[in-house]
A and B are shown apart, each in its own frame.
Chain A
Amino acid sequence: MAQLEIREVSKHFGGVQALLRVSVDVPKGEILSVIGPNGAGKTTLVNCVNGVFHPEAGRILLDGTDLTHLSPPRIAALGIARTFQNIALFRGMTVLDNLMLGRHIHMKNGVFRSVLYWGPGRKEEIAHREVVEDIIDFLEIEAIRKQVVGSLPYGLQKRVELGRALALHPKILLLDEPMGGMNIEEKEDMARFILDVNDEWGTTIVLIEHDMGVVMDISQRVVVLDLGTKIAEGTPKEVKNNPLVIKAYLGAKAVA
């Protein structure tokens, strides 16, 4: 049984059929890429998985648990974390606090313990700070840990957002164009982090990416969406040579 099962999911916005009976199975520990032209429905698919949208039809299961109609916080607690296509960090907070928020679901401190900041309450804060520091080391962002996120350059913000998602210690990581707008060097760093996360923690990764080079390099399997439907699925090589895929991309280019 796949760890994440997306079964026949459909979702529309007004007259736009963003997803039409899309099914994807993601086995544990896989790096799966989702590609497709602009407006194909990639982001919508991710939004359905973590509960930002609820599909009109179909089901989504994590380790057999149905999460189709759960709220985003519940889904986060079940072990699904994500990053956004347009960075969605907490701009007014430091890098550290952003990552500490990634620990929110694993902490218990309520108002009283927070207010006291003593004994068990402080102990918990420190324990989770240690977890966060490991992630900071891993992502090589030690030097900026006390900086306010809004003041950081774009590439670093993307990295911090990955850090916040990692802080949840998720079973599944959904990355929506984590390399969008990056230069080659930054892309290479990001690709390395993604591979390392997968390698060291066995985290299942669903990656939305436009850069075909990166997709070919790091993913084990690729799913292709076009106009809300799945048009191909397979190894990077298979997908690359699939005539339907070539047509979808060329078609999209011809229109543009």
Chain B
Amino acid sequence: MINRECGVFQTTYRGDMALYPVPLAKASYGLLLLVLLALPLAADSHKMAIINLIGLASVGAIGLNILTGYTGQVSLGHGAFMMVGSYTAAILSARYGMPFWIGLPAGGAVAAAVGAFFGIPSLRIKGLYLAIATLAAQFIIEWCINHITWIGGGAQSSIYVPTPTFFGWEINNEYRRYFLVLPVCVLAYVAAQNLVRSRVGRAFIAIRDRDVAAEIIGVDIFKYKLLSFAVSSFYAGVAGALWTYYLKIANYEHFILSTSISYLAMIIIGGLGSVLGSVFGAVFITLLPIVLVYVVEGIARLFGFTYFTIADFLANLRLIIYGGLIILFLAIEPEGLYRMWGSIKRYFRLWPFSY
């Protein structure tokens, strides 16, 4: 992340193509990993919970960015694909006693299949129309879970999941959950970085940038659009499954349309077409309501209101701020926070000799 590229020259293609081409970058990633591993030492349970939520959101956001940011296919069904992963994991663990490390990839796999299916309209339609078609996915999947008792489990469509364990080690508090979330995040991040810089990812970007040209150089648009839906939904499914093991319950209300929209907000604010930007967006959107509550509550108290009178207002305010930020970023900084990060990095590249 912190790479000062100046004065480093690669002499082999292999060196030039490395993910972290600068020695300092390698070291800084190592350092970052150490910091992440040591984080629980410095944070209380409440802060760990927030960090875990950021991790969960990051996995989902990276997935959506692969589809929307890299392949250029807008989706309003991301929440639904998370729902598929969530219920898959819940069914496997609650009814068949499967461990979480089977539930996670299984949730991803089932979501990938469902996502690819709902990606079929993308072969014919684009942009806003595709967004509406994926909206259908959101409602159809929600309906299925609410009306097919075998999937939703009947009453309130909730499935309770036993505490996940890793060879007898119970994952039952925020600190332990962190060590469930962190490895998934790191894997998701590295996998996405690798994907977007190699053959499959290039084909995705080609479709986004110029689909006719992509076809004439031999990219099978049909195949790669569906593949992008599948990969993106795999991420969504894993994120949904992780969410289920985290909360120990699968419930459709966690993955409704506004979930899909907040994930779109994450990648737009963080940076379309940037894996790191997805993480920035996840941090931002996860922290936003928390900070908002503090601020609004503080102001409300000044005027003598109680929390209950402002709760409704808060929920709406959050949505208004999402909307405002999406518009703001699309208009002013379409490459999002990632771009701002780039500017800061460029500034420090030659620092302190900037001239």
Contact = CB atoms under 8 A, between A and B. Distances in A.
Interface of A: 50-52, 71-73, 75-77, 81-82, 84, 88-93, 97, 100-102, 104-105, 107, 109-111, 113-117, 121-122, 124-126, 129-130, 133, 164-165, 168
A111 B223 CA distance: 12
Contacts of B200: 109-111, 114
Nearest to B207: A90
Interface string B215-229: 111111100000100
Contacts of B205: 90, 92-93, 97
A129 B216 contact: no
Given A101-B219, A109-B200, A122-B14, 12 more contacts: A51-B216, A52-B216, A73-B219, A76-B218, A81-B217, A84-B213, A88-B212, A92-B209, A117-B19, A126-B13, A129-B13, A133-B13
A187 B195 CA distance: 38
B222 to A, nearest CB: 9
B218 A115 contact: no
A168 B217 contact: yes
B201 A114 contact: yes
A181 to B, nearest CB: 18
Query: Which of under 10, 10 to 19, 20 to 34, or 35 or more describes the interface residues of B?
Result: 20 to 34
Contacts of B218: 72-73, 76-77, 104-105, 168
7 contacts: A51-B216, A88-B213, A101-B206, A109-B199, A111-B231, A114-B195, A114-B198
User: By DSSP majority rule, is chain B's interface helix, strand, loop, or mixed?
Assistant: helix
Nearest to A91: B209
Contacts of B213: 84, 88-90
B17 A129 contact: yes
The 8 residue pairs across chains A and B that have the minimum distance between CB atoms: A76-B218, A105-B218, A117-B194, A90-B209, A88-B213, A72-B215, A114-B198, A109-B199
Contact of A105 (B210, B217, B221, B227): B217
B199 A114 contact: yes
